[in-house]
Copies of this chain bind each other. A is one copy, B any other.
């Protein structure tokens, strides 16, 4: 399967990078065709300009490439830290520019009525989201309401046609031991393999 892995974290020594490396290795071991984007390392241009808002806008080559890749992806893995209940701006900008109308979704006929009903265009069978957090899970649920679940699941991937969706948050990172982090990476490997198993030769 063609799988896109999208990472949004500025520090290459971060646990997010370790998660991404583990996921990519696992996918390759399982025989998949992996497109890995460390958006910071690639200096992805994350700010959508006004002229890209129209549906039929002319796009720069880098955005066209990202759009073609995500449209063809049979699986997607997103990896980022929880910053204010949202992804870092770098990854939000990838969403803004790449998950475009005509690529990730279109509208039902009669959209001119403002019904806001999307038709998903992504062909990805499975979407995984791996997050890191420094907020304990009970506080995230009770005080902050975990907007990342709404954002990635309801607002994005279910709307865009993904047939299965799974999200896992690792934390609290800041106080974690090496042993915990190693255990978490084994979990990343297990989750990745479960959703994207090796294809029989």
Q: Is A179 in contact with chain B by the CB < 8 A criterion? A: no
Task: Judge whether A145 and B150 touch: CB under 8 Å.
Answer: yes
What 0/1 pattern do residues 137 to 172 of A give for CB contact below 8 A with B? 001100111110011001110000000000000011
Q: Within A75-109, which residues are at the interface with B (CB < 8 Å)?
A: 83-90, 92-93, 95-96, 99
Residues of B within 8 A of A96 (CB): 83-84, 88-89
Q: Is A201 in contact with chain B by the CB < 8 A criterion? A: no
Q: Is A46 in contact with chain B by the CB < 8 A criterion? A: yes
Residues of A within 8 A of B (CB): 10-12, 40, 46-50, 53, 83-90, 92-93, 95-96, 99, 112-117, 134-136, 139-140, 143-147, 150-151, 154-156, 171-172, 174-175
Can you tell how many copies of this chain the complex includes?
Answer: 2
Residues of B within 8 A of A88 (CB): 48, 92, 96
How many angstroms between the C-alpha atoms of A172 and B113 in the bound complex?
9
Most buried by B among A90, A99, A116: A116
Q: Which 9 pairs between the two chains have the least Cβ-Cβ distance?
A: A89-B93, A114-B172, A114-B175, A116-B135, A10-B50, A85-B155, A147-B147, A11-B50, A89-B92
